[in-house]
Amino acid sequence: MTTTGTGRPAAEGLRERKKRAMRRQLSDTAARMFLERGFDAVRVADVGEACGVSEKTVFNYFPSKEALLLDRIEATADALRTHLPDPAHTPVGAMLAILERERDDLATALAADPDQDGALARYRQFGDLIRNTPSLRAYRSDTADRFVDIAAEALAVRTGLHPGDPEPQIAAATLLGLWRVQFRALRTHVRPGHPLPAAIDAVTRDVRRAARLAEAGLAAFPAAAAEPSTAGRSEHH
């Protein structure tokens, strides 16, 4: 990276900031248009035109129309790669930290809106849009499956097992089950007319209830590296 005499990133850093800003603008604009007009009624070209760029430029930032709306969940993939391999935390403890950060980010964003009930209503509308649009449901489901694979790879690092072995696979599926629990709990508790802090507390309680069961089931997971299974490895090579 090119730097200035002060050691700070020069032009390349500026370009990256501009890219992040454009990515955010495209995603925010798409979300607003989808909520106003419906997902199927808005073309990718419409989003680009609203932001002053071409359809091709939009696809340079996002691989699909669905990603325009759901791209921010990709931060979960980075968090899984960062936290799950760390042996200082149990797998469930690491997952709880990831989910807590996601709750905090959501609560901060919602609380920053001066029209609190309006922000909560839009959040509910966003969830309804996903539930009622088959392609968005499919994209979210495919993303969750991919996250299981990412989690299995991360967990394999801490055990010496292969990501395709049964132990990392079931552990990863269990951990991503907590992610699904949180998603459902947010849909249940975060809504207009309910104080946001109380709603987030209720979500936290639901996630921790599920986590207690997961923790009991995965208590022996690190010891699984003693006798790794070779069954089915040929499928992964």
Residues 116/196, Cβ–Cβ less than 8 Å: yes
User: pLDDT tens across 118-152, in order?
Assistant: 999 999 999 999 999 999 999 999 999 999 999 99
Average pLDDT taken over every residue of the chain: 88
The pLDDT, as a whole number, for residue 227 is 52
Residue 9 three-state SS: strand
For residues 211-225, one letter each, b for 16 or more C-beta atoms within 10 angstroms of the residue's C-beta and e for the rest, the string is beebbeebeebbebe
pLDDT over 70 at 116, yes or no? yes
Token pair belonging to 62: 């996002």
Distance CA 107, CA 113 (A): 10
Look at 90-104, 184-198, 217-231 and tell me which has the smallest mean pLDDT: 217-231
- The H-assigned helical ranges of the chain are 11-37, 44-51, 55-61, 65-70, 74-83, 91-111, 116-132, 134-159, 166-189, 196-217
Quote the pTM value.
0.81
The pLDDT, as a whole number, for residue 13 is 83
**Torsion, Cα of 142, 105, 99, 188 (10° steps):** -80
- Smallest Cα–Cα separation from 95: which of 159, 166, 178, 183? 178
CA dist list (Å): 127 to 108, 130, 190: 18, 5, 11
Q: Please give the domain boundaries of the chain with CATH numbers for all domains.
A: 11-62 (1.10.10.60), 70-221 (1.10.357.10)
